[in-house]
Amino acid sequence: MDVTVVEGDLTAQEVDAVVNAANRRMRGGGGVDGAVHAAGGPEVLDDCRRRFPDGLATGDAGWTTAGRMPARWVVHVVGPDRHAGETDRTLLTSCYRRALEVCEELGARTVAFPLVSAGVYGWSREESVDAALEVFAEGGWDLDEARIVAYGRDAAQVVRSRVGRTT
């Protein structure tokens, strides 16, 4: 599986699946979650309500339609909120691992990730990238590409510096 880095808009990626850093309720919100719901339109929210009436647990993942986005699916992950005391790093790696597992179940070949839990959930960009790379390096994934999409130049520089250290 190739790991690529893109500076840009996650919701505009032409991949099989985009990963949404969602909250437990899976009803939209701010940041990546708000952008995914806005770009995907009401179909994403309707599918979240139907498939996940009680939401998802931290570290878990599930899929919905991508609605109006160019991707086919959205894989929603619930990242740990460091500010709320969720400091167990295995919850963060679980988001990336579960997202890849869901992608494989769907038959997706390409997937675009945000920096899960970086930002309002208090994990650093470095921690998020390192968690992703750790899971990607486990190998055995039946995907062609895992794309890390960084929003903004500063985030992209952090991601590129971390990816460059491990490849």
- Residues with a catalytic annotation lie at 33
In contact, 8 and 95? CB cutoff 8 Å: no
C-alpha distances out from residue 20 to 14, 47, 62, 95, 104, Å: 15, 14, 10, 10, 16
Beta carbons within 8 Å of 22's beta carbon, 6+ residues apart: 29, 33, 36, 56, 76, 77, 78
**Considering Cα of 153, then 87, then 81, then 76, what sign does the dihedral take?**
positive
